[in-house]
Amino acid sequence: MYDYVIVGAGSAGCVLAGRLSEDSNVNVCLLEAGLKDDHFKIQAPFGFSLRPTEYNWSFDTVPQPGLNGRRGFQPRGKGLGGSSSINAMVYIRGHRTDYDHWASLGNEGWSYNDVLPYFKKAQNQERGDSEYHGTGGPLNVADLREPNPYVRRFIDAAKEMQYRETDDFNGPDQEGVGQYQVTQINGERCSAAKGYLTPNLDRPNLTVITEAQSTKVLFENKRAVAVAYTKDGQEHEVRANQEVILSCGAFQSPHLLMLSGVGPAAELRAHGIDILHDLPGVGKNLQDHIDYIAVYRKKDLALFGKTFLGSLKVLHAIWKWRRTRTGMATSNVAEAGGFIKSDPGLDVPDLQLHFVVAQAADHGRTILPGHGYSCHICLLRPKSRGEVTLASADPMAAPMIDPNFFAEQEDLDTMVKAFKQLRQIMERSPFANLNAQDVFGAGVHSDDEIREELRNRADTVYHPVGTCKMGSDEMAVVDHELKVHGLENLRVIDASIMPTLIGGNTNAPTIMIAEKAADMILTS
């Protein structure tokens, strides 16, 4: 018997396990379907682009009408650290108005001023303590050790377009372009597992069970009392005296709720699942950043060299990293970017850039010939809403994921503007002498051609949220303390509780959510 059973050792689950077990009187069990996080390709920052599939759920979406019927790819981390063990380590909080908006929806305690202390509590900012940054926290935030020189070209090109340069996207003003800070420490990835879990594995009140696939939350009446899981082909149960906490992410938290009889009644009936609690918002309100990547190919050896020479450089980078924790292997690949507006009249940036010194296509699954560079541009607050549903009552079956990209015409229209702004940046003078070719967009000019290019190539930039949203309306799943409406001793604590998508990468906000939730639990 444990006080708390946490399902999912991702970004939120690791924070919760680390923080709750700080109290020696509290017994915590953390269940994770994946493996430990000790693989080289996780610890070396550059290795995420070479990540092994055993650390990735590698979900696909249902066919997307807005993407000309394509199925999108939805990578999610599988193993200790979750997606913080396979992401690009960009440390971004979003815009202060995102959190003020959450509070305006009736979510008490979630304004920017309310959440800033938890961002700071989580952080060890290597630049030092300030009004916006903290030191001494488990999550190390650092400048890149050896930025690629091509990053400077990107920043200078954007400045030619009158975008200002900034050195802190998480300070008083998000808008601008610059180098990203990253969640790394001493040249290694600083995942949520590395920061919050690994240093505390010897605590006698913390039990971590890996390769344990949770299949159902068990209830007595409407009180959550245990979690059923499978490990090594055997069925097990682990009981919770205080609370069961779901931290499985925007796809799998609603999935596990529905498998447990909590969700839209009609859908549960359709799959023969007994209805414990009709909660219509479970799985709804899925939001994600739709993203387009412009890819440029060079003919010379200036970036990484031809295939053979490039392979030697990679091997040398691995050797150097193992010896000194420096060099190319410390790169997060998406080294720079920024936040810009599709219309100068907007109050806050609605587009984000990620500049990549590589040819980035098909989520890295397709290797393009030659060498080059790329730049992502994504829509930060899309109007389109999707859903996560059940494929079947089999807990081993993947959830059905429908982001519903470009369902709203306004999203597509804004991305047409974004495409044009991205092209203008990438064709400025700092790039002009590189003689690089636009691999996919060279013949794309008219608005109709841009729309078709977007439908053919746009996809997620890996920020799904919202499927167990926080609120008090009829479609809300959890309240402002992240307790599931209508049930006892059950919370959801992860990115799925975000009522609306924030303007930026979602890892740091997810860690903040868990920090705040742990504080609420321990002080309640």
The reported pLDDT for the residue numbered 375 is 98
The reported pLDDT for the residue numbered 303 is 47
> What DSSP string runs through 176-219?
EEEEPPBSEETTEE--HIIIIIGGGTT-TTEEEE-S-EEEEEEE
To which residue do tokens 């219509």 refer? 280
CA–CA–CA angle 354, 356, 360 (5° rounding): 105
The reported pLDDT for the residue numbered 52 is 62
C-alpha pair distances (Å), 190 with each of 63, 98, 124, 185, 477: 35, 25, 11, 6, 31
C-alpha pair distances (Å), 71 with each of 77, 275, 353, 460, 476: 19, 31, 24, 11, 28
The reported pLDDT for the residue numbered 319 is 85
Angle, helix 447-457 to helix 409-426, in steps of 10 degrees: 100
pTM above 0.85, yes or no: yes
Q: Which CATH architecture has domain 145-179+290-379+407-457?
A: 2-Layer Sandwich (3.30)
Tokens describing residue 325:
């924790």
C-alpha pair distances (Å), 255 with each of 191, 333, 408: 24, 32, 25
* The CATH fold of domain 1-140+190-257+464-524: FAD/NAD(P)-binding domain (3.50.50)
β 234-246/223-231 pair status: antiparallel
Domain with CATH 3.30.410.40 in the chain: 145-179+290-379+407-457
Distance CA 211, CA 216 (A): 16
Backbone region of residue 471 per phi and psi (left: phi > 0; alpha: psi in -120 to 50; beta: other values) = left
Nearest 5°: phi and psi at 375? -145, 125
The reported pLDDT for the residue numbered 318 is 84
The reported pLDDT for the residue numbered 300 is 63
Q: Which helix (H) or strand (E) holds 375?
A: strand 371-379
Distance CA 314, CA 32 (A): 32
- Give, for all 524 residues of the chain, the pLDDT tens digit: 999 999 999 999 999 999 999 999 999 999 999 999 999 889 999 887 666 689 999 999 999 999 999 999 999 999 999 999 999 999 999 999 999 999 999 999 999 999 999 999 999 999 999 999 999 999 999 999 999 999 999 999 999 999 999 999 999 999 999 999 999 999 999 999 999 999 999 999 999 999 999 999 999 999 999 999 999 999 999 999 999 999 999 999 999 999 999 999 999 999 999 999 999 999 999 999 999 999 999 876 444 444 444 567 778 888 898 899 988 899 999 999 999 999 999 999 999 999 999 999 899 888 788 889 999 999 999 999 999 999 999 999 999 999 999 999 999 999 999 999 999 999 999 999 898 999 999 999 999 999 999 999 999 999 999 999 999 999 999 999 999 999 999 999 999 999 999 999 999 999 999 999 999 999 98
Q: What's the 3-state SS for 50-107?
A: HCCHHHECCEEEEEEHHHCCEEEEECCECECCHHHHCCCCECCCCCHHHHHHHHHCCC
Domain with CATH 3.50.50.60 in the chain: 1-140+190-257+464-524
Q: Which of 95, 289, 463, 480 is catalytic?
A: 463
Distance CA 386, CA 404 (A): 5
The reported pLDDT for the residue numbered 307 is 46
Distance CA 493, CA 521 (A): 11
Distance CA 479, CA 520 (A): 13
User: Is 133 labeled as catalytic in the residue annotation?
Assistant: no
Hey, which residues does 6 pair with through a beta bridge?
30, 245
β 334-340/351-356 pair status: antiparallel
Distance CA 422, CA 21 (A): 46
